[in-house]
Each structure stands twice: as C-alpha cells, then as structure tokens.
C-alpha cells in the first residue's frame, strides 16, 4: 500500500506530469473493490460562464471493513472550470463530501482548479462496518457558454472522472444546457408632438398622463433559470437593460420593482397582450419578483438592490425611478429576489418615455441580457459569480405570443411653422428677423419634398435656403428687396411631399418708405485748454485737485471726461467749459484727456501730472473776520489768515511763506468743508510783517517741495 503522505504529494503534482501518470491511480492497492458513479444532471443556462453542473456521487464497497482509505479525484469538463479561486487556484466553493453511514458531510478539502479540471484529495477514512461508503462532488461551476449558444434542444454536458479508486464508468452526463433567458421588446413610435410626464412620478400617474411607453418582457428558458441569490453567489439572476439613441431632451422612467407572472397582480405596460397594471406582490410567496439595482457598473455587476418589499400583506409596486442618460444612452439593472423554481415564469415592465413637443425624430434602441456580462471564461479570484457571455437574446414569442408583425410606417409630412411676417425698408434692408419653418417626416420610410411659391403681389421677392429635401429640413425665408417699393406683399409657400402630404406657409412682407436723410452729424467735441482751476493757467494736474477744461461743444445729455481712461468727477459743464476733479492717476507724469459728449469724443489732449502743485485762488485769502484781504481791509499781526487753494494732496506736508518769512506752520491744512478738491490753509500773521507782501503755499511730497505762485496780501 502506498503511504498516505505519498498520495498527498502525488495529488499536488498530478497536473505537472504527463496524463499517463493518471492511469497509475487505478493500480494503487486499496480495500475498495468497486465504486458506482451516478450523477444528478441539471438544466443550466447556455449563456452562463459560471453555471453549476449536477452533483457526482460515488457509492463504494470495500473488501476490508475498518481499513483506512484515502483517494484522489480529478473531474474533467468540456469547458473551463470557473469556481471562485484564491491566488493558488484553490477553491472551497466546490465541495467534496463523504458518507460513512450517517449522511454526507463536507470534507473541507479545497479543490485545485486547472483549466477544465478540478482535483480533490480526501483525508484518510476508515471503511465503516457495513463495507459501504459514499463520496460526492458538488457545486462545480463551468463556462457552459463555451459549448455554443443556439436554439436547438438541450445539449448534453458530459464530464469524466479520474480516481485512485476503481470506478464503473469514467464519462457521464452532468447537465443539459439550453438558453436561460427568452425575451421580447415591444416596438413603439412617438410623434414629434412629444410625450408628457406628470408632476408626480409613479406608475399610476404615468399611466394617467398618457406618457408613451415600451415594454420589455423576460421569460425563463426553463423553470429554474431565474433564481434569487444562492450560497456562493454574489447576486441573484440579473438583467442588464441598455438604452441608446435617445434625444438629449428625453427622460426614461422604469418601475423600482416588477411583479412576475406568478405574483398576485403581474406588472404590465399594456402593450404585450396584457392591460396596463401596477404590480402587486405577496412577500414570501415564492412568486417572481424583480427589483432595480442601484450603483451597478455598465456590465451589471456590483451595486445594491433597492429596498426589497417587506410586509405581511400584499404590496402595490407603484414607485418608479429615472434612468440616467448621457448623450442619449443609459442602462438599468434588475435582480431576481423571489421566484418559483417549479414554474416557468415571465415578467414584463414598461419603460416610460417623456419627450417635449417637437422633438426631432430619432432612432432609439433597447437591448437586454443576463448579467453581469463578462468575457472571463476561466476561474477567477475576483470576477462575479454568476456571470454571462454577451449573446443575442432569443425571442419568447413562440412560447407566450404577444409579438405583432412589425408595422411599416408610411411617410407623413408635418410642418412646424407659423405665418411668417417680414418687415423691411424700401431701398434699404430687412428690419425683422428672417422667417423659418421646419419640415418633419412623422411617419417612416423616405419622404422627398419640394417647395413652390405663389405670389399675390409682385414676383420673385422671396428666397428660400432650401427648395427641396428628404425627410427632415430647416428652411429659412428671406426677402429680395431690390426694386421693391413701399407697400404690403403677400405670398404662400407650398411644401409638396406627394403622397406624404401637402402643406402651406403664408408670408407677409411689409416694406416701409425710405427714411428721410439723416440729420447732420453731431458737431465735433474740441478741448482747447486744460487749466489749473485756481490760476486758469496750464500747470501739472494733481489727483483730487480742481481743473478747468476750455473748448467747444462740451455740453450735452451725457458728458464724460477721462484721464488715460479713468473717469473724472464733473462739477460743472457748459458748451465752452467743464470744471472737474482729477481722478487718481498713480505715479504717472502725464495723461491723455478725452471728453465724450453724447457718444462723440474729442481728440486726446496730453497734460502733465504732478504729485503736488499748490495754487491759491484769486480772491482766495480771507482775514480772520472772513472778509477778503484787500488793501483797504488788511490783516494785522497775530490774525489768522484763511487761504483757499487746490493741488495739495492729503499726504503732503504744508508750509507758508509770507514776505521774507518762510516755513510758517499752519494752524490748519486740509480739505475745505463741504467742497471736494478745495484745500484750506489757516496761518497766523507773524510779528514784524507789514505792507503789501507775497504769500506762497508750499507742499512737500516724498521730500520734493513745490510752492504756489505768489498771491499778494496786505498786512498793517
């Protein structure tokens, strides 16, 4: 007898040795005299990539009860084994069980998956006193779709077994493959008048609003092909519904839950041989129920089911959700959460389609498949279980009916148009927007159309951007004004689509008399001088100071002055003079002054700009009693003179010169009350001053002192 440890090592190495090594298993001495192989074939989906084949059972007799035995088994399939595996290609999803007289118990032995085979090794067991023991391999999954997918009768799925125990047969039937999903998609058309949607979105409201719909029907290929989630599976049976080709303005709504044919009241849209119906489902009734999946990817994998209905009483399945569309395409996923394994069931659900009025025609399409859809046809660590190949679904029409012959739609002309009214000026131009109308084919096929114009007054005064076309068209209508005198003109545009229809668009053109010659151009705005407002002489301008502009045509309804584009504040404007405040000009040393009157601008005038340039106004020196300083009204020693000037910035240091006395410190230097741009400097008359004396204001900014021209005052 070969030691058990050797058998374990051999089992681990079997897949890297030639196949002839497998024959050695049958030559290993064993107390088992014969094992009878039986299988329990099951129906599996021909679309499937992880379908469970039937159980394989060995019923073995032994010549030496109580002897210890162990065994190795390799099951071969005609397609890849696709159980979930770990990084070492071991799976615990497939199960090896042993029966030592008290029923089958899982051994816990992991299966080693290699391509189209799976290998198990049993631990050492003592043969029971009865001399009989059983071994069973169950829950093996395989890529059934690799056998092919067609409409033929069920296809046998054969397997073979290699074992260290003597077996009575090495090949047997494990399953029968046939399509698991049959389907039917109803065909519908929606006119360009659109399809409304109610404010409250649920199935009763959508039915009541007359929202257009198209139904999708799914039918089991065999009674057990629709199933809720089973042990070892990621999901129950799923359906991936894809939508393409919808206009950007379309909105699609589908039920959150769908009651199948065995439910209290099956869900129905009313276009597949059943009247419209909101589904009703009794929880726990083992009747077909589909629920929508949120958050799945575009293959139908992942996500989570919407809240499954739960109640002791019947549930009305009225809620709906919108299908998200991107560039006219989207998808939805349903999952089976309840089903009857003894009945071949079917379910149908409507897709409600909301469209605004006058939506351009589009060819939208829908498809359905078992999901998740995958191309992985081998054992995987992460690929979903179950999963299915992308195949074209077969029709359930022969089984259920409700499949009408396709309707051949005839071309039908529809004009999206209103009477066109144009206005223009004689010997001039169009004064209204050009006219426009749209040509639609509301039916099917090809609709050729052409235009003709019937004139009631005049001839050939209309031009069309398109005189003929096929199916859809946009036609712009413009007048030809050459030679037309003032008056009203009528015409009718005829759109002729032969048997598809003939429709007309009325056109009215109103031509106004030519206007009178335009008035003479507005006089030009001229700036002749830019002066310091105090001295009325040209001088550097200071931000915030008072400035006077002289010129012509300076008054109007709208007057603006800018310095290098910066707007000035206007204090006074007449036809020949503007008084203003200079705007902030930064560190500029010059600026361009432009005056704009009622939209007409002067030529730019370059002016110098300074940080400070004090100037005392004429009659701008007042005595302490606020009277003007005059020879007959002189100031006296100790009086406070009030001096009014402009061109002194707030940041400047100010001093006063009077006669031969300099650096006199003002008792006040700042803005004059209630008058922007006017500065006031108050200074005491120093001792020893008398006679007619020159007075100057000096402003220092950044260590640069600038003094004003002299203003003469009298001191007694």
Q: Is the pLDDT of residue 226 over 90?
A: yes
Residue 63 pLDDT level (bands cut at 50, 70, 90)? confident
30 and 2 in contact (C-beta within 8 Å)? no
Interval 313-329: pLDDT, tens: 899 999 999 999 999 99
Interval 644-677: pLDDT, tens: 999 999 999 999 999 999 999 999 999 999 888 9
Strands 320-323, 251-255: parallel, antiparallel or unpaired by DSSP?
antiparallel
Q: Is the pLDDT of residue 444 over 80?
A: no
Residue 597 pLDDT level (bands cut at 50, 70, 90)? very high
Which three-class secondary structure state does DSSP give residue 387?
coil
pLDDT score for 1 = 29
Q: What is the Cα–Cα distance from 100 to 264, expressed in whole angstroms?
A: 46
Q: Which of 372-381, 423-432, 643-652, 655-664 comes out lowest in average pLDDT?
A: 423-432
Interval 559-580: pLDDT, tens: 999 999 999 999 999 999 999 9
Residue 298 pLDDT level (bands cut at 50, 70, 90)? very high
Q: Is the pLDDT of residue 641 over 70?
A: yes
Q: What is the Cα–Cα distance from 451 to 512, expressed in whole angstroms?
A: 28
Q: Is the pLDDT of residue 23 over 60?
A: no
Tell me what the pLDDT averaged over the chain comes to: 89
pLDDT score for 606 = 96
Q: Among all chains, which residue has been given the structure tokens 């569309």?
A: 325
Distance of CA 174 to the CA centre of its chain: 49
Q: Is the pLDDT of residue 505 over 70?
A: yes
What DSSP string runs through 533-593?
A: TTTTB---B-TT-EEEEEEES--SSSEEEEETTEEPEEEEE-SSEEEEEPPP-TT-SEEEE
Q: Is the pLDDT of residue 504 over 60?
A: yes
> Between the ranges 121-130, 330-339, 440-449, where is the mean pLDDT highest?
330-339
Mean pLDDT to the nearest integer, 291-308: 90
Torsion angle of alpha carbons 390, 395, 396, 402, nearest 10°? 140
Query: pTM higher than 0.75 for the full model?
Result: no
Q: Is the pLDDT of residue 495 over 70?
A: yes
Q: Is the pLDDT of residue 4 over 80?
A: no
pLDDT score for 3 = 34
pLDDT score for 193 = 53
Query: Positive or negative CA dihedral for 37, 40, 46, 49?
Result: negative
Q: What is the Cα–Cα distance from 669 to 652, expressed in whole angstroms?
A: 10
554: number of Cβ within 10 Å: 22
Residue 284 pLDDT level (bands cut at 50, 70, 90)? confident
Between 113 and 674, where is the model more confident?
A: 113
Mean pLDDT to the nearest integer, 506-529: 88
Mean pLDDT to the nearest integer, 235-249: 92
Residue 57 pLDDT level (bands cut at 50, 70, 90)? very high
* Burial annotation 171-201 (CB, 10 A radius, 16+ → b, else e): ebebbbbbbbbbbbbbebebbbebbebbeeb
Q: Which of 14-18, 326-330, 333-337 comes out lowest in average pLDDT?
A: 14-18
Peptide linkage before 386 cis (omega within 30 of 0): yes
The first and second tokens of residue 165, run together, are: 């125990």
The first and second tokens of residue 556, run together, are: 């109007």
Q: Among all chains, which residue has been given the structure tokens 């004064």?
A: 431
Helices of type H across 331-416: 397-400
């Amino acid at each position: 007898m070969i030691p058990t440890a050797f058998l374990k090592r051999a089992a681990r190495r079997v897949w890297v040795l030639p196949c002839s090594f497998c024959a050695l298993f049958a030559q290993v001495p064993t107390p088992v005299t014969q094992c009878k192989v039986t299988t329990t074939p099951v129906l599996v989906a021909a679309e499937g990539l992880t379908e469970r084949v039937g159980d394989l059972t060995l019923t073995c007799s032994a010549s030496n009860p109580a002897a210890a035995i162990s065994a190795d088994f390799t099951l071969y399939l005609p397609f890849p084994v696709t159980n979930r595996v770990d990084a070492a290609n071991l799976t615990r999803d497939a199960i090896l069980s042993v029966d030592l007289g008290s029923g089958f118990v899982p051994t816990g032995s992991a299966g080693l998956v290699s391509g189209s085979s799976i290998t198990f090794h049993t631990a050492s067991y003592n043969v029971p006193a009865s001399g009989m023991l059983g071994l069973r391999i169950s829950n093996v999954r395989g890529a059934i779709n690799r056998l092919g997918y067609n409409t033929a009768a069920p296809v046998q799925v054969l397997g073979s077994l290699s074992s260290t125990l003597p077996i009575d047969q090495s090949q047997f039937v494990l399953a029968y493959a046939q399509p698991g999903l049959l389907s039917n998609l109803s065909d519908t058309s929606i006119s360009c008048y659109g399809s409304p949607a109610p404010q409250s979105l649920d199935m009763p409201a959508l039915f009541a609003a007359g929202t257009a719909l198209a139904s999708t029907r799914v039918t089991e290929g065999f009674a057990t092909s629709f199933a809720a989630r089973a042990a070892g599976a990621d999901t129950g049976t799923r359906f991936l519904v894809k939508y393409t080709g919808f206009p950007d303005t379309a909105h699609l709504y589908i039920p959150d839950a769908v009651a199948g044919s065995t439910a209290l009241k099956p869900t129905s849209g009313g276009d597949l041989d059943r009247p419209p119906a909101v589904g009703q489902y009794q929880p726990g009734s083992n009747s077909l129920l589909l629920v929508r999946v949120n958050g799945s990817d575009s293959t139908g994998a992942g996500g989570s089911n919407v809240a499954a209905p739960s109640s002791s009483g019947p549930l009305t399945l009225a809620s709906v959700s919108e299908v998200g569309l991107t560039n006219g395409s989207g998808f939805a996923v349903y999952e089976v959460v309840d089903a009857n394994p003894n009945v071949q069931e079917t379910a149908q659900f409507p897709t409600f389609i909301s469209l605004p009025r006058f939506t351009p025609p589009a060819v939208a399409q829908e498809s359905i498949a078992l999901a998740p859809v995958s191309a992985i046809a081998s054992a995987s660590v992460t690929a979903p279980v179950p999963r299915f190949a992308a195949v074209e679904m077969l029709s359930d029409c022969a089984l259920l009916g409700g499949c009408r012959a396709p309707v051949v739609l005839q071309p039908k002309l529809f004009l999206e148009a209103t009477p066109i009214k144009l206005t223009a000026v004689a010997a001039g131009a169009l004064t209204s927007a050009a006219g426009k109308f749209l040509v639609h084919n509301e039916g099917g096929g090809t609709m050729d159309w052409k235009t003709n114009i019937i004139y009631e007054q005049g001839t050939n005064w209309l031009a069309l951007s398109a005189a003929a076309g096929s199916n859809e068209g946009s036609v712009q209508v413009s007048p030809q004004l050459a030679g037309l005198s003032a008056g009203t003109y009528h015409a009718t545009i005829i759109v002729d689509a032969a048997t598809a229809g003939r429709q007309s668009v009325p056109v009215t053109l109103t031509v106004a008399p030519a206007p009178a010659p335009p008035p003479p151009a507005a006089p030009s705005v001229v700036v002749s001088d830019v002066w310091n407002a105090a001295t009325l002489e040209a001088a550097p301008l200071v931000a915030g100071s008072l400035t006077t502009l002289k010129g012509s045509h300076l008054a109007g309804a709208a007057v603006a002055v800018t310095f290098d584009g910066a707007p000035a504040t206007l204090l006074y404007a007449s036809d020949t003079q503007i008084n203003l405040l200079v705007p902030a000009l930064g560190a500029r040393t010059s600026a361009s002054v432009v005056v704009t009157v009622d939209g007409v601008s002067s030529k730019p005038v370059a002016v110098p700009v300074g940080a400070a340039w004090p100037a005392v106004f004429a009659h701008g020196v007042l005595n302490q009693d606020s009277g003007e300083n005059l020879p007959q009204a002189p100031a006296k020693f100790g009086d406070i003179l009030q001096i009014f000037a402009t061109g002194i910035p707030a940041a400047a240091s100010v001093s006063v010169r009077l006669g031969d006395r300099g650096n006199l410190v003002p008792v006040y230097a700042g803005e004059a009350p209630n008058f922007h741009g006017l500065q006031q400097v108050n200074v005491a008359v120093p001792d020893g001053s008398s006679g007619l004396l020159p007075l100057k204001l000096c402003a220092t900014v950044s260590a640069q002192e600038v003094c004003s021209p002299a203003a003469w005052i009298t001191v007694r």
